[in-house]
Homo-oligomer: A and B are copies of this chain.
Amino acid sequence: MIENIDDDNFSRTTVAADQLRAIVERIERLEDEKKEVAAQIKEVYAEAKANGFDTKTLRKVVSLRKKRPEERSEEEAMLDLYLSALGMLPG
């Protein structure tokens, strides 16, 4: 919290040091946690790659799993429509 103190002698802004320190330390702990989880994700991909999986395809799969099946098939139909209009579909 910030306070503006104005009296005859001085005008200053103070900040609650303890509260500020607590906030900053909480953020730092959480950022460390986030970095740790991000490193674990990277590790799973690296391990998968070492086991012969294609990580680019894995990422697409993970992203597609977030969508409902109808959503996915609608998006794919639309994409095929556009690609076909541009002569980009085989056959």
Say whether B58 contacts A24, CB under 8 Å.
yes
Copies in the complex: 4
Q: Inside 8 A of A62's CB, which chain B residues have their CB?
A: 24, 27-28, 31
Q: How many residues of A contact B (CB 8 A)?
A: 51
Q: Which of A27-75 contact B (CB under 8 A)?
A: 27-28, 30-31, 33-34, 37-38, 40-41, 44-45, 47-48, 51-54, 56-58, 60-62, 64-65, 69, 73, 75
What are 8 residue pairs bridging A and B, where the CB atoms are less than 8 Å apart in the complex? A15-B81, A15-B82, A20-B82, A20-B85, A21-B85, A27-B41, A31-B62, A73-B90
Q: Which residues of A contact B (CB under 8 A)?
A: 1-2, 13-17, 19-21, 23-24, 26-28, 30-31, 33-34, 37-38, 40-41, 44-45, 47-48, 51-54, 56-58, 60-62, 64-65, 69, 73, 75, 78-79, 81-83, 85-86, 88, 90
